[in-house]
Amino acid sequence: MNRIWDELVAYRRAHEDQPILALFDKGDRVERFGTKAGGLWLDWSKTAIDDKALELLLQLADKGGVAERREAMFAGAHINETEDRAVLHTALRNLNDAVVVDGVDVMPGVRAVHAAMSDFARKVRDGRFKGQGGAITDVVNIGIGGSDLGPKMATLALAPWHDGPRVHFVSNVDGADIADTLAPLDPATTLVIVASKTFTTIETMTNAETARRWMERAIGAAAPGQFAAVSTALDKTSAFGIDADRVFGFADWVGGRYSVWGPIGLSLMIAIGPDRFDEFLAGGAAMDAHFRATPLDQNLPVMLALVGIWHHQICGYATRAVLPYDNRLSRLPAYLQQLEMESNGKSVAMDGTPLERVSGPVVWGEPGTNGQHAFYQLIHQGTAVIPAEFMVAARGHEPDLAHQHMLLVANCLAQSEALMRGRDLEQARALMAAKGLTGAELDRQARHRVFPGNRPSTTLLFDQLTPRMLGQIIALYEHRVFVEGVILGINSFDQWGVELGKELALKVEPLLKGQDTGGHDPSTVHLAEMVWEMRGA
């Protein structure tokens, strides 16, 4: 492996000045540096990857054991070694095949929970399940991280299919979040879903108790009847007082950030209905089948991962911008932040030795065209190169506004072209000359209008954002993260890095109440004292 990494780095150094645009001189680049699957087309021709770089990248995937590890994952092996767990979110979206974990077929259990949540969702939607004040008008999902980001992102993305009660999401321990969410709602017609894999997460449990008090004030002892829970910890859901009929469990082999496909997706299922939810699952399953069966060089998640490795580990670009040209995908960058950064933001390899390469990049973004009027300036002319990952559907959902959708698509394509093409000094000088400028002022003004170009991007194009297409896209990114993790030797399925802050928060809280628990640094103590003073305590 080291030889391949070294060769890739040396090859990149030797060809750093090669313009991406010149790579198109070979006529068939667009077809060869693009990958398709299930109605998705990933164009990665606007990157500096050429034939030789591609050959080496594919060797990384091959020698890095991607195919073997992929099979181990689908077969239920404990590939999450630091938690000694299988990794089988894929089982949640392929309800037909048997999946054996530690000698037991887990699918009858998965199917039973899927049937129970579908039944419950139908009853909530058609009014058979009622609140004290009648049919449920609003659903509040209380969860954080993977128990919030997935359903929230997908519920917004699939808004054109909403035909159930309104769905709201509360995640932050900041009381403002729950206060603002609950304020306009009628407790007598609201269903609260407490979504927490562990049912111990402080933010979620605190918000759940706040919601329970809010509901009790209105409907008294009937309040627990309007709560449902989604968790792996069934003892804790019953201790919270939620009837087992409204508790939907899942196993520890579903990671939090991979959990939208199962009961954590209950709020989404209530919003769009079980049938549409199943189409979302079918999309995920279709991407699984593609990922599992397709040779590495035509494999969509593998190619997206190799482009990511090329930009971050080989070219050294520190961040990756995800730019969906779809307003309903506005939560996708936040969702991908958790998926990618919690999965691959590690410093040690699976065996505990320090990583030999930098780990995952910073992932960020906003939908287009909004971002164009905010941070694209830096992507075009800043000194840091930021690979951009564009995403756009050929068709929108508003037939009367098709002209606006065309404008949206045009902007998306124009941005990737502008990033690659740029504008050189001569062109900028000609522009300034045409405006009548001359001499030193022409030169000065022209320099501000130069775009370096040669900035890489990928474009993921698809027909329309349907439940099935969203399922495919999310599964694509999940497998991308997996492939990158395998090549880097990372366990992408644990998240030990979130623990320390959680522990310290529990120790800092007493400090804010004037109780010094000891062991804090002077800066933290001083800040806590200032809070104490400012609150007038």
By the criterion CB under 6 A, which residues form the site for ligand F6P? Answer: 144-147, 196-198, 201, 204, 256-257, 342, 495, 498
Cβ at position 196, least distance to ligand F6P in Å: 3
- The single-letter code of the amino acid at 489 is G
Torsion sign over Cα 299, 71, 257, 283:
positive
Cβ at position 471, least distance to ligand F6P in Å: 19
Nearer to ligand F6P among residue 144 and residue 341 (C-beta):
144
Torsion sign over Cα 407, 409, 412, 415:
negative
Contact 339, 481 (CB under 8 A): yes
Q: Which of 203, 279, 340, 342 is catalytic?
A: 342
Annotated catalytic residue 162 = no
Classified as helix, coil or strand, 85 is strand
Cβ at position 185, least distance to ligand F6P in Å: 22
Per-residue DSSP letter, 312 = I
Cβ at position 492, least distance to ligand F6P in Å: 12
End-to-end Cα, the chain, rounded Å: 60
488: closest CA among 363, 256, 333, 305?
305
Nearer to ligand F6P among residue 258 and residue 325 (C-beta):
258
Nearer to ligand F6P among residue 177 and residue 279 (C-beta):
177
- The single-letter code of the amino acid at 88 is L
Per-residue DSSP letter, 22 = G
**Who contacts 358 (Cβ-Cβ below 8 Å, separation ≥6)?**
312, 313
Q: Which of 15, 63, 502, 507 is catalytic?
A: 502
Nearer to ligand F6P among residue 430 and residue 504 (C-beta):
504
Strands 40-43 and 457-462: antiparallel
For 210-236, give one letter per residue: b (16+ CB within 10 A) or e: bbbebbeebbeeebbbbbbbbbbbeeb
Between CA 145 and CA 258 the distance in angstroms is 10
Between CA 486 and CA 1 the distance in angstroms is 12
Cβ at position 36, least distance to ligand F6P in Å: 32
Rama region for 518: left / alpha / beta (φ>0; ψ in -120 to 50; rest) = left
Contact 157, 465 (CB under 8 A): yes
Cβ at position 500, least distance to ligand F6P in Å: 11
Nearer to ligand F6P among residue 462 and residue 493 (C-beta):
493
Nearer to ligand F6P among residue 16 and residue 174 (C-beta):
174
- CA 496 to chain centroid, in Å, comes to 19
Nearer to ligand F6P among residue 154 and residue 446 (C-beta):
154
Residue 101 has, within 13 A of its CA and on its CB side, a CA count of: 22
Cβ at position 481, least distance to ligand F6P in Å: 14
Annotated catalytic residue 36 = no
Strands 388-393 and 457-462: parallel
Classified as helix, coil or strand, 460 is strand
Cβ at position 283, least distance to ligand F6P in Å: 22
DSSP string, 260-274: TTTGGGHHHHHHH-H
Per-residue DSSP letter, 86 = -
Nearer to ligand F6P among residue 137 and residue 198 (C-beta):
198
Nearer to ligand F6P among residue 257 and residue 320 (C-beta):
257
Annotated catalytic residue 502 = yes
Contact 397, 405 (CB under 8 A): no
Cβ at position 231, least distance to ligand F6P in Å: 8
H or E element that contains 195: strand 190-195
Residues designated catalytic: 342, 373, 502
